[in-house]
Amino acid sequence: MPSRPLILSSLSHDIHAHAVSWGLRCSGVEPLWVSSFADPAAGAISLYSDDETPWRASGALGAEIGPVWYRRTRNPEDFPRVRQSDLAFVRTEWARFLKNLYLLAGDLSDRLWINPPAAAIEAENKLVQLRAARRCGVRFPATLVSNDPVEIRAFFRRHGKVIYKPFMTHSWENADGDAFSTYASILDESMLAGDESLRHCPGIYQAYVEKRSDLRVVAIGERLFTVALRSTSGQAFVDWRAHQHGTSLEATVAELPTGCADKLKAVMRALGIVFGCFDLALDENGEAYFLEVNQAGQFLFLEQLVPQLPLLQAMSAMLGQGRTDYSLDPDPALSYAAYNASEEHAQWWQQVRPQMEAEAAAGDWISRE
């Protein structure tokens, strides 16, 4: 019997997990999607080792389980059959066990992990990404991470036009009920006037790249799919994510500058990942600057904007075939548009839509990062 792909995603409304599950089934492969290894659907799991035997897994990570998509996981919290007095203990034990399991995952078999958990966790760190980019010869803007007002102002004076961005996009409401989100923004000198606000927490400050457009590069195994993102007016955005829910975002298929693809693949190898969504700034001279890579990035919105990109099929193929050099013969029947038109999607959407609308009303949107 062929091994069964496993999808680990704790979000019941994860459209990427559901769409890829659909794509696999359309290809004759039945995946298993679980919220975590504590999910009863995963079954029991065992790890064994002795002084002559390295760790081996059985049960939920036994031989019948093939490639694993380590998509977006959280430590399990819902244990309906556990007494309230014991809940903290059970949650802590699962969290500790999973931390150990994920660090060992690559040693348990030769199955493909998308991405290996230990590498995925490390690759979530933006400064680690910039270290990998520098080592691989990928150009990126001069960057300062600081909560020192003197250093920040000196950086601003040195570069003239500077971007501030947080480590993670965050949305909240102030005391007056006004909604805010932390996207990248261009600084002006008045924003640097108060020492106290700069000292509150470290921020990421980067020299601004005068952009022709943004490039979103989806690396699915050995294949890179590149999209240029700009305003419908033809101008580049400071941060295209701030416009993702409107109608002003335009996407077109693009080519990477010469030599850039090999360097991005080198960054992938340095980070130990096989999937990632790169964000690059393309300047007026056609040179690309690395901004970041999201190892669990969103990509289906790109196929919606540019339907000829077979992103859903590519991810389904890599997971179904269990190799990064998967074969791919683009098929409209396996596209994101076909998925959206399917009865399976319609039924699932009816189930999860109320939850998604409630989260959107609360400002807890699913990011396209």
Positive or negative: CA dihedral 262, 267, 272, 275: negative
Quick check: is 136 in a domain?
no
CB 124 within 8 A of CB 295: yes
Quick check: is 366 in a domain?
no
Pair 285, 336 in one domain: yes
Give the pairing type, strands 185-186 and 162-165. Answer: antiparallel
Residue 46 C-beta-side C-alpha neighbours within 13 Å? 5
Question: Measured between alpha carbons, how far is 82 from 77 in angstroms, rounded to an integer?
Answer: 11
pLDDT value of residue 365: 43
Count Cβ atoms within 10 A of the Cβ of residue 279 and give its class: 0-12 exposed, 13-18 middle, 19 or more buried. buried
Mean pLDDT of 157-174: 83
- Tokens 């548009």 label which residue? 337
DSSP E strands in the chain: the ranges are: 4-9, 32-34, 45-50, 53-59, 65-72, 113-114, 143-146, 162-165, 171-173, 179-181, 185-186, 203-207, 211-220, 223-231, 249-253, 275-283, 288-294
pLDDT value of residue 159: 94
- Model confidence at 364: pLDDT above 50: no
Quick check: is 368 in a domain?
no
Beginning with the edge strand found earlier in the chain, give each strand of the sheet holding 211-220 in spatial order. 249-253, 223-231, 211-220, 275-283, 288-294
What pLDDT, in 10s, does the model give residues 84-137? 999 999 999 999 999 999 999 989 889 999 999 999 999 999 999 999 999 999
**Total number of domains constituting the chain:** 3
- Tokens 């919606």 label which residue? 304
Mean pLDDT of 247-255: 87
CB 70 within 8 A of CB 117: yes
Pair 105, 199 in one domain: no
pLDDT value of residue 99: 95
Pair 353, 248 in one domain: yes
CB 191 within 8 A of CB 205: no
Pair 193, 282 in one domain: no
Pair 215, 303 in one domain: yes
- Model confidence at 231: pLDDT above 90: no
- Model confidence at 242: pLDDT above 80: no
Largest Cα separation within the chain, whole Å, is 66
Give the pLDDT band of residue 245 (cuts 50, 70, 90).
Answer: low
Quick check: is 314 in a domain?
yes
Pair 225, 90 in one domain: no
Supply the pTM of this predicted model: 0.90
CB 66 within 8 A of CB 3: yes
Mean pLDDT taken over the chain: 90
Amino acid of residue 92: T
Question: Measured between alpha carbons, how far is 112 from 110 in angstroms, rounded to an integer?
Answer: 7
Count Cβ atoms within 10 A of the Cβ of residue 123 and give its class: 0-12 exposed, 13-18 middle, 19 or more buried. buried
For the record, the structure tokens of 206 come out as 């980067």
Pair 182, 73 in one domain: no
Pair 221, 179 in one domain: no
Range of the domain at 90: 4-116
Quick check: is 125 in a domain?
no
Positive or negative: CA dihedral 133, 134, 140, 143: positive
Q: Which of 272, 319, 261, 241 is nearest to 68 (CA)?
A: 319
pLDDT value of residue 202: 93
Percent of the chain with pLDDT over 90: 75
- Model confidence at 368: pLDDT above 70: no
- Model confidence at 6: pLDDT above 70: yes
Question: Measured between alpha carbons, how far is 284 from 246 in angstroms, rounded to an integer?
Answer: 25
Domain C-terminal end among 207, 222, 247: 207
